[in-house]
Chains A and B, each alone.
Chain A
Amino acid sequence: MNTLRRMRHDARGLTGGALALAVVLLALVGPLVAPHDPGAFVGRPFQSPDSAHPLGLDVLGRDVLSSLLSGGLLFLAEAVAATIIGVGLGVLAGTVLATLPRKPADIALSFNDALIVLPQIIIALLVLTRLGSSPFTLIAVIAFAHVPQSARVVRVAVQRVTSEGYFEAARGFGARWGWLFWREIMPNITGVVVIELSIRLAISSVVLATLSYLGFGATADDWGSMIHQNQGGLTIQPLAVLAPVAALGCFLVGANLFRDGLSRALAKGA
Chain B
Amino acid sequence: MHTSRTTPSGRASAPRRGGKSVLALLAGATLMLSACASDQPSEDQPTRLRVGLVSLSTSDSLDPAKATTVGGYAIARQLFDTLVEYGTDGKVTNRLAESLEPGDSADTWTLTLKDAKWSDGEDVTADDVVYTFKRFFDEELPPANSLPFLTADGVEKVDDTTVRFNLEYPTVVLPDALTSPTMAIVPEGFDPEKPIGSGPFVLANHDPGSRVSFDANDEYFQDGQPGVDTLEFISFPDSNAMVNALVGGQIDVASSMDPSLVPVVEAGGDGYKVFNYPTSGTLTWQMNVAQKPFDDVKVRQALRLAVDRQQIIDQVYDGYATLGNDIFSPFDEGYDDGLPQRERDIEQAKSLLAEAGYPDGVDVELTAAPIQPTADRQNEVLVQQAAEAGFRITFNKVDAATYYGDAYGTYPLSLSFWGQLSIFDQAAFTIVNDAPYNATKWQDDEYNSLYEQAVRTVDDDERIDLVHQMQRIEYERGAYVVAIFVDNISAYSAKVSGYQPYPNADGPSGYNFKDMTVKE
What 0/1 readout, one digit per residue, does chain B (238-271) give for beta carbons within 8 Å of chain A?
A: 0110010000000000000010110110010000
* Contact across chains for A129 and B399 when beta carbons are under 8 A apart: yes
Question: Chain A's interface: helix, strand, loop or mixed, by majority?
Answer: loop
What 0/1 readout, one digit per residue, does chain B (359-383) give for beta carbons within 8 Å of chain A?
A: 0000000000010000011001100
* Contact across chains for B397 and A132 when beta carbons are under 8 A apart: yes
Q: Is B459 an interface residue (CB 8 A)?
A: no
What 0/1 readout, one digit per residue, does chain A (221-233) give for beta carbons within 8 Å of chain B?
A: 0000000010111
* Contact across chains for B397 and A219 when beta carbons are under 8 A apart: yes
* Contact across chains for A46 and B402 when beta carbons are under 8 A apart: no
What 0/1 readout, one digit per residue, does chain A (39-67) give for beta carbons within 8 Å of chain B?
A: 10100111000000000000111000000
* Contact across chains for B397 and A61 when beta carbons are under 8 A apart: no
Identify which of B110-118, B205-213, B310-318 touches chain A: B310-318
Looking across the interface, which residue of chain A has its beta carbon closest to that of B239?
Answer: A232
* Contact across chains for B396 and A232 when beta carbons are under 8 A apart: no
Q: Which residues in B have their C-beta under 8 angstroms from that of A39?
A: 384
Shortest distance from the beta carbon of B409 to any chain A beta carbon, whole Å: 18
* Contact across chains for B267 and A235 when beta carbons are under 8 A apart: yes
From the candidates B264, B311, B370, name the one contacting A215 in the complex (CB within 8 A): B370
Q: Which residues in B have their C-beta under 8 angstroms from that of A232?
A: 239-240, 243, 258, 260-261, 264
* Contact across chains for A61 and B260 when beta carbons are under 8 A apart: no
From the candidates B239, B267, B318, B402, name the one contacting A45 in the complex (CB within 8 A): B318
Measured in the bound complex, the distance between the Cα atoms of B378 and A229 in whole Å is 12
Shortest distance from the beta carbon of B330 to any chain A beta carbon, whole Å: 24
Measured in the bound complex, the distance between the Cα atoms of B311 and A231 in whole Å is 22
* Contact across chains for B258 and A219 when beta carbons are under 8 A apart: no
Q: Is A133 an interface residue (CB 8 A)?
A: yes
8 Å CB contacts to A: which residues of B291-334? 311, 314-316, 318
* Contact across chains for B377 and A129 when beta carbons are under 8 A apart: no
Q: How many A-B Cβ pairs are below 8 Å? A: 53
Q: Is B275 an interface residue (CB 8 A)?
A: no
* Contact across chains for A60 and B399 when beta carbons are under 8 A apart: no
Measured in the bound complex, the distance between the Cα atoms of B315 and A45 in whole Å is 6
Looking across the interface, which residue of chain A has its beta carbon closest to that of B395?
Answer: A219
Looking across the interface, which residue of chain A has its beta carbon closest to that of B316?
Answer: A60
Q: Which residues in B have their C-beta under 8 angstroms from that of A169?
A: none
Q: Which residues in A have their C-beta under 8 angstroms from that of B380?
A: 60, 219
Looking across the interface, which residue of chain B has its beta carbon closest to that of A218?
Answer: B397
Measured in the bound complex, the distance between the Cα atoms of B243 and A236 in whole Å is 13
Q: Is B398 an interface residue (CB 8 A)?
A: yes
Q: Which residues in A have their C-beta under 8 angstroms from that of B384?
A: 39
Looking across the interface, which residue of chain A has its beta carbon closest to that of B373?
Answer: A232
Measured in the bound complex, the distance between the Cα atoms of B373 and A215 in whole Å is 11
Q: Which of B260, B261, B376 has the most CB of A within 10 A?
A: B260
8 Å CB contacts to B: which residues of A191-233? 215, 219, 229, 231-233
From the candidates A129, A231, A236, name the one contacting B263 in the complex (CB within 8 A): A236
Can you report 13 residue pairs joining A to B where beta carbons are below 8 Å apart? Answer: A39-B384, A41-B311, A41-B381, A44-B314, A59-B377, A60-B315, A129-B399, A129-B402, A132-B396, A219-B395, A232-B258, A236-B263, A236-B264
For the A-B complex with A41-B311, A232-B240 known, give 6 more contacts whose Cβ atoms are closer than 8 Å: A41-B315, A45-B318, A219-B396, A229-B377, A233-B263, A236-B263
